[in-house]
Amino acid sequence: MKIVDAKVVVTSPGRNFVTLKLTTDEGLTGLGDATLNGRELAVVSYLADHVVPLLTGLDPHRVEDTWQSLYRGAYWRRGPVTMAAIAAVDVALWDIKAKAAGLPLYQLLGGASRERIGTYGHANGRDIPELLDSVRARLAEGYPAVRIQSGIPGLKAVYGVSDTDESGAPVLHQQARPLVEDWDTAAYLRHVPAVFEAVRAEFGPELPLLHDSHHRLTPVQAARLGKDLEPFRPFWLEDCTPAENQEALRLVRRSTTTPLAVGEVFNTVYDYQALITEQLIDYVRSAVTHFGGVTPLRKLFDFAAQYQIKSAIHGPEDISPVGMAAAVHLDLAVHNFGIQEFSGHTPLTDEVFRHAYTFTDGHLHPGEAPGIGVELDEELAAAHPYAPAYLPVNRLHDGTVHDW
Ligand SMILES: [Mg+2]
């Protein structure tokens, strides 16, 4: 079997998605997600200008060799643009291999290790009463665990979350320049324990509660927050510091028993090396899409398993249904599965990317369709062309730029 066609499809059914589609001489097709939120066209160029010309004529069964040649052969290794491009090729090849075998991808990864995949949803509120309503809505949708984020008195933005419409769907800011949000770390650190206290008081001790600090704290601030949240038994504290400084997590870890989750902006195992071998974290959070695909993420999970660290694949709305499908197959197969983030997509997005995976009673299953189980409607995709959009930027009261 040979690859005879490779093309990059950009579509914006409400937000931008970049998809690689490979076709073989036997008529099999494979899809891979290459969406890098806010920097989409850089990956389009990387793929179209530098990778697509290398793919024609390749045997699609050679997944590992193709991955290694794209990673090592470029000389310029790592980084989100490179690894999103490699991820798209890797997932498209796995898709073809599994279709050729007539099996859903998870069967090629060792088969199911569980019946279904537990998820967590996002609950957001401008204040605590609005957050409590949002938690109630997620529980009504069946989510077994909830990430709680609340606005902070004195700040306009509900940090780190998209604006939502009445139905809870994210509202995108498709504009030529990023939205500017505000931030005050001291006010945040005062408020978050009260948020947990209110949610625990309303929903009891059993509901798993997660919280995301969006890389905004110093190590000593993160340690303080971890200690303050201990009485409320969080499921995890996510991205408490900018963890490309891996040493920062040593101080946090020594100071608190609050579980730590890290890695949605990481691209390779080297970003995790100290965090895993020193057991400084409890969950690895990389997405298939931004980590180079199923091939390296499976290796990361196996590495993490030796240290009792679990998987928690990043799953916001900007991971396309193609990237989500690949994640769900991995989730079903790996032994050290922890939890899967899942927000779902708009009905139009689910029409452009028809998928076999299902979300029932707060749990995902990849389905039994051969491959990853996603079909791209190219006509509908073309009817919704790329629209420039940025993630917000974040500034302190005095105007200083802070992490978003
Ligand atoms: Mg996050």
Check 46, 106, 188, 214 and give the catalytic one.
Answer: 214
Q: From ligand 1's centre to the CA of 64, what distance in Å?
A: 29
pLDDT band at 173 (very low <50, low <70, confident <90, very high): low
% pLDDT > 70, the chain: 96
Q: From ligand 1's centre to the CA of 400, what distance in Å?
A: 22
pLDDT value at residue 171: 57
pLDDT band at 243 (very low <50, low <70, confident <90, very high): confident
Check 46, 71, 143, 159 and give the catalytic one.
Answer: 159
Separation of alpha carbons 181 and 251, rounded Å: 29
Annotation says 159 is catalytic: yes
Separation of alpha carbons 57 and 23, rounded Å: 11
Among 98-102, 177-181, 301-305, which stretch is predicted with the lowest mean pLDDT?
177-181
pLDDT band at 338 (very low <50, low <70, confident <90, very high): very high
- Is the confidence at residue 66, as pLDDT, over 70? yes
> What integer is the mean pLDDT of 263-280?
97
H-run or E-run covering 89: helix 80-101
Q: From ligand 1's centre to the CA of 97, what distance in Å?
A: 32
Rg for the chain, CA atoms, rounded? 21
pLDDT value at residue 105: 99
Give ion ligand 1 contacts, CB < 5 A: 212
Q: From ligand 1's centre to the CA of 160, what distance in Å?
A: 8
pLDDT value at residue 253: 98
Q: What does 182-244 look like in DSSP terms, one character per residue?
A: EE-HHHHHHHHHHHHHHHHHHH-SSS-EEEE-TT---HHHHHHHHHHHGGG--SEEE--S-TT
Separation of alpha carbons 14 and 389, rounded Å: 11
**Residue-averaged pLDDT of the chain:** 95
Q: Mind listing the domains of the chain with CATH numbers?
A: 3-103 (3.30.390.10), 108-369 (3.20.20.120)
Q: From ligand 1's centre to the CA of 264, what distance in Å?
A: 6
Separation of alpha carbons 229 and 44, rounded Å: 42
Q: From ligand 1's centre to the CA of 115, what distance in Å?
A: 26
Q: From ligand 1's centre to the CA of 239, what distance in Å?
A: 7
- Is the confidence at residue 215, as pLDDT, over 60? yes
Q: From ligand 1's centre to the CA of 107, what distance in Å?
A: 29
Half-sphere exposure of 389 (CA within 13 A, CB side): 21
Distance of CA 286 to the CA centre of its chain: 6
Q: From ligand 1's centre to the CA of 391, what distance in Å?
A: 13
Annotation says 314 is catalytic: no
